[in-house]
Amino acid sequence: MQAVVEPDAHHAHGEELGFWRKYVFSVDHKVIGKQYMSLALFMALVGGLTAYLIRWQLAYPETPVPGFHWVPEPTMYEGVVPPEFYNALITMHGTVMIFFVAMPFLLGAFGNFLIPLMVGAPDMAFPRLNMMSFWTIFTASMLLLASFFVPGGAAAAGWTGYAPLSADPVFTGVNWGLNLWLLALALEFGSFLMGGVNFLTTGINMRAPGLTLTRLPLMVWMQLTAAVLFMLSIGPLIAGAVMLLFDRTIGTGFFLPERGGDALLWQHLFWFFGHPEVYVVLLPGFGMLLEIFPVFTRKPIFGYRAIIYSTIATGILSFLVWAHHMFVSGIDPRLAMPFSITTILISVPFAIMVFSMVASLWGGAITFATPMLFALGFLATFLIGGVTGIFLGSATVDIYLHGTYFVVAHFHYTLFPSVFLGGFAGMYFWYPKMFGRMLNDTLGKIHFWITVISFNCVFIPLFLCGVAGNMRRVYNPMQYDFLKHLAPLHQFATLATIVLMLGQIPFFVNFFWSMVAGERAPDNPWKANTLEWATTSPPPHGNFAQVPTVYRDPYEYSAPGAGEDWLPQYAPQPSA
Amino acid sequence: MLRWFPENISTFGGDIDGVFSLIYYVVGFWFLLTEGVLFYFIFRYRRRSGHAPTYVRGDRWTELVWVLVPAVIVLALDLGIDAVGGPVWARVKEHQPPGGVEVHVTGKQFNWEFTYPGPDGKFDTADDVTMDNELHVPVGQNVHLVLRSRDVIHSFFIPTVRLKQDVLPGRTIKAWFNATKPGQYEIACAELCGFGHYNMRAFLTVHDVDDYQRWVHEKWPAAAAAPTGDKG
């Protein structure tokens, strides 16, 4: 397929743009990608602080949180987190991390930056829509942060916002906080709908000559599949969010039984979206790993097509499993086994993907640069998230484990590796292309080891808490006699959380210091094959001096008879 | 991992724990195998001078079997897990065994309310006995719970019984258990229900048969003797 794209009128004279059009209201996908990245990293700090407050309360209940004496009443009492604020914290932690960190980081930042570069396009198909999608999520973020400061505090019905708890302010005592939460979510969904339109149009219509779908880098496949999953699943939840807002503000009763509504409807709408959303966040993380493995093993990815087919199969199956979040919710118990089986079927395409990743290492020549360390760490830790899903996919075991810390530990073991280990792998890998400078490798390795070790120290103990029956979202588990012996586990997890957070300091130092003083990056520092490395670091406005032509598959490393151990997609013939 | 389970005191709890153990060993084996292969590859195929990488694309069936065969084994084991778990699920959640005592449970912010039929043996009559946060049952008998909620969703959770069931406003949901050991055990709410959620705690007291009769005599006539009480 060949698409002739006329660059936006001001691409031609981008140098003349003023500060505001160049850095703030920019239509350049690379600038917008960096804006998403800045937003995601900032929101990750907010999400991290909520995690710190939550963990402190769990380890040392009702004692002052170090460093938080300044927070005024009634939010906190001389540094002590009260139950109302605790519920707001867990709600905001989940909302911030999923919708305002994971998605803007993996899709917003990397999708925006990489899709046009990897398909050889000068920009996104709709640059102005792209700008609008960023400023929409920016507005949503501000509304969400503002909700901390309204009377009654932030939303406190859990990030899943189960009705009727969320449907009437009398149940939580939170009025505008939850309304703002709903508004912020609806705007965020709208933002990623616009983003999805751009991703798909660009990825399908603007590929460089010769770049067939089966020569497309897997990162692009993952981003496009994620966009399709998001766009197909979000509709019901946007409707649900509006219905919930109506229940709260103008007296409808969609989710309130005493007004003729149904208490379970929200859960169906939420999880019909919620499960595909897991893969929306996971697939781009896999994409990072799949781009990085071939470069640092110097051999092709194993089973390129099998991975694509498995991705599509996973995507389709993800629409048929939502009730596994609802085994004990009061649905007809005869529904449990069919949903248990669809859930378990997902492990087949998943196993194919994971085994292909492991097989991709076989016979390689692995170098342990920071991006590769993070990618390997992602795979090794993600496996724990994958296998613990089997426990929860069994309806029988879920009777006991549902709503316990086992669930919390499980989904953190899937999401954290994807968002942070995958995300950091991508960051260390593409930073040279983004900023024209290399990140410091030693600081990167320090960052890796602290992050991966402390992460495991946080969540392994929480599996044990879950097996012991510890319910999640409980302000003070030590109220229960049968949970009192878990105090040391909670304290260990909390100390590990603090180490995990301090462990991010080397990254932030590296990130900002390297931007001004890092070693200058060559166009292709890793000797990688895909199109983004064909242009300068960083690429100019319009990306490519001339539209590249694609001659071959994306991962032709160490091909027989090629001479060198790499063969770029854009090189006409094997280089001598 | 398995030793962290609380004591089990119900007839079906052992089966649920059994399915957990089965998954634990099956999944544990595959997990260790996969991690083992992963770390072996990382070590074995580190870059060394004189070792060129092998060009394998994994796009031929002869290569793909290395991935597909384990995936099919995973599928077979998964279906096996559901085949073992299915009957246990059906026993706990789909069928109510006959006989035993019936208790109505109502969740409300932030208490569990337990209602007994009283001396007349019928619910919704004036001699019903209602108490907050105390569930008393005889050992070795089926206990039928009729679960309702007055406000938001709660989740009725007795860890030692391995019973968890969400409680919905506007619906009536049934559950059952059969306790095997006398004693006092904790009941919790396992679904976020508001600021008092963490303290929505109740107690299950399992009496031996004589002791249960003594408790009934002690608590139920008092309610029957009330002015509006109707003797059945």
pLDDT, tens only, A57-85: 999 999 999 999 999 999 999 999 999 99
Q: Band of the pLDDT at A478, cuts 50, 70, 90?
A: very high
- Name the least confident of A2-16, A170-184, A513-527: A2-16
Domains of chain A and any CATH numbers:
32-534 (1.20.210.10)
> Is the distance from CB of B106 to CB of B113 less than 8 angstroms?
yes
Nearest Cβ partner of A337 from B48, B89, B188? B89
Q: Do A399 and B157 touch (CB under 8 A)?
A: no
Percent of chain A with pLDDT over 90: 93
When scoring A347, A381, A396 by the number of chain B Cβ atoms within 10 A, the one with the most, hence best to mutate, is A396
Contact B82 A341 (CB under 8 A): yes
Q: Note whether A157 and A71 are within 8 A (CB).
A: no
Average pLDDT, chain A: 94
CA distance A258 to chain B (A): 7
Residue A435 burial (CB count, 10 A): 18
CB atoms within 10 A of CB B11: 18
What local confidence, expressed as pLDDT, does residue A344 receive? 86
Mean pLDDT of A245-266: 94
Q: Are A499 and A457 in contact (CB under 8 A)?
A: yes
From chain A, the residues in CB contact with B16 under 8 A are: 396-397, 399-400
Write out chain B residues lying below 8 Å of A400, CB-based: 16-17, 20, 159, 162, 164
For residue A13, what pLDDT is reported?
A: 47
pLDDT of res. A24: 87
Q: Which two tokens stand for residue A280?
A: 């929306």
Domains assigned to chain B: 2-94 (1.10.287), 101-224 (2.60.40.420)
pLDDT in tens, A89-122: 999 999 999 999 999 999 999 999 999 999 999 9
Helix (H) or strand (E) holding B207: strand B202-207
User: B35–A468: do the CB atoms touch at under 8 Å?
Assistant: no
Burial of A163 (0-12, 13-18, 19+ CB in 10 A): buried
- Tell me how far apart the alpha carbons of residues A197 and A134 are, in angstroms, rounded to a whole number: 13
The C-alpha of A357 sits at a distance from chain B's nearest C-alpha, in angstroms, of 9
Spatial contact of A380 and B9, defined as CB atoms under 8 Å apart: no
Judged by CB atoms closer than 8 Å, whether chains meet at A376 and B42 is answered as yes
Strand B202-207 and strand B163-167: the pairing is unpaired
Compare CB distances from A479 to B63, B166, B201 and report the shortest one's residue: B201
Q: Mark which residues 63-102 of B lie under 8 Å from A by CB.
A: 63-64, 66-68, 70-72, 74-75, 78-79, 81-82, 85-86, 88-90, 92-94
pLDDT of the residue at A7: 46
The pLDDT value recorded for residue B150 is 95
Structural element, H or E, at residue B149: strand B142-149
Confidence of residue A20 (pLDDT cuts 50, 70, 90): confident
Across-strand partners of A437? A520
Judged on CB neighbours under 10 Å (0-12, 13-18, 19+), A118 is buried
Q: In which residue are the tokens 């530990």 written? A: A409
pLDDT for res B223:
47
Q: Tell me, what's the pLDDT at A172?
A: 93
Task: Tell me the range of A87-91, A171-175, B58-62 where mean pLDDT is highest.
Answer: A87-91
The arithmetic mean of pLDDT across residues A485-498, rounded, is 98
Name residue B131's beta-bridge partners. B114
What pLDDT shows up at residue B229? 37
Residue B231 has pLDDT above 50, yes or no: no
The closest CB to that of A263, out of B79, B89, B168, belongs to B168
- Residue A363 phi/psi, 5° resolution? 75, 10
CA distances to A181, A338, A452, B44 from A380, rounded to whole Å, are 35, 30, 10, 16
Mean per-residue pLDDT for A298-309?
Answer: 96
In the block, which residue shows the tokens 């003023």? A18
Q: Which residue of A has its CA nearest to B38?
A: A358
Contacts of B73 (CB under 8 A, 6+ apart): none
Contact B153 A263 (CB under 8 A): yes
User: What tens digit of pLDDT does each residue of B188-203 get?
Assistant: 999 999 999 999 999 9
Report the DSSP pairing between strands B129-132 and B111-116: antiparallel
Residue range A165-182: mean pLDDT, rounded? 95
The residue in chain B having the minimum alpha-carbon distance to the alpha carbon of residue A357 is: B38
B194 to chain A: which residues are within 8 Å by CB? 87, 165, 171-173
Contact flag B58-A303 (C-beta cutoff 8 Å): yes
Q: What is the mean pLDDT of residues A487-513?
A: 98
**What's the ipTM?**
0.94
pLDDT band at A408 (very low <50, low <70, confident <90, very high): very high
The shortest C-alpha distance from B118 to chain A (Å) reads 28
Q: Of B155, B125, B16, whose CA–CA distance to A474 is shortest? A: B155
Contacts A–B by Cβ distance under 8 A: 297
Mean pLDDT value of segment B92-110: 95
Question: Quick one: pLDDT at residue A15?
Answer: 56
Question: Of A168, A169, A177, which is closest to residue A89 (Cα–Cα)?
Answer: A177
Over residues B204-213, mean pLDDT: 95
Q: Is B109 on the interface with A (CB under 8 A)?
A: yes
Query: For residue B222, what pLDDT is reported?
Result: 60
Between positions 15 and 44 of B, the ones with CB within 8 A of A are 15-17, 19-20, 23-24, 27-28, 30-31, 34-35, 37-39, 41-42
Per-residue pLDDT averaged across A269-279, rounded? 95
| pLDDT attached to residue A574 | 62
